[in-house]
Amino acid sequence: MAKLAALATIFAVLLLVANTYAFRTTITTVEIDESSRGAEGSWKECQQKIEKCDLSECEQYITQSTNPESRSGSLLQCCSQMNKLDDKCQCKALKMMVQEGQQQARQTGTHQQSQMVDRAQTVVIYCRLPQRCEWQAVWF
């Protein structure tokens, strides 16, 4: 009986520690590194292509904290939208969406900025984008 009580106590402590870490908030912002853009013409060219392309499902997937079922449908449609962009512009588009979403989150006071980066990374992996995206994060 004493072993059971000790085991229950250890389990309760572990549960308390896990619960404490679950509510820790980390805010992440993404900065687009000007030097990694390459030629300025390339950046402007991508920006024009991104503005012409419908990336609404990607924006919704990255910025909205909806239920997992609707997110998976958005992710699939996001992959379709991302594949319409040039390979060299896909990471730039994701970074722009994350940056815009983070600005909106700061203005509205929501705390899901690090989740946006995670979701953007999920898009890269799930959609098997050919280019590896570098995320330069600033923690505060």
Query: Given the structure tokens 């006071």, which residue do they identify?
Result: 109
Q: What's the pLDDT tens digit per position in 54-82? A: 999 999 898 886 666 566 678 899 999 99
Count of other CB atoms within 10 angstroms of residue 138: 9
For residue 11, pLDDT beyond 80 = no
**Residue 129 Cα to chain centre, angstroms:** 15
For residue 117, pLDDT beyond 60 = yes
Q: How big is the chain, counted in residues?
A: 140
Beta bridge partners of residue 28, listed in sequence order: 139
Pairwise pLDDT comparison (29 vs 96), residue with the higher score:
96
pTM, 2 dp: 0.63
DSSP state for residue 34 in the 8-state scheme: G
76: containing domain: 2-31+40-139
Q: Label residue 136 by pLDDT band (50, 70, 90).
A: low
Number of domains in the chain: 1
d(CA 92, CA 87): 10
* CATH number for the domain that contains residue 93: 1.10.110.10
d(CA 121, CA 17): 28
For residue 94, pLDDT beyond 90 = yes
Conformation bin of residue 30: beta by default, left when phi > 0, alpha when psi is -120 to 50: beta
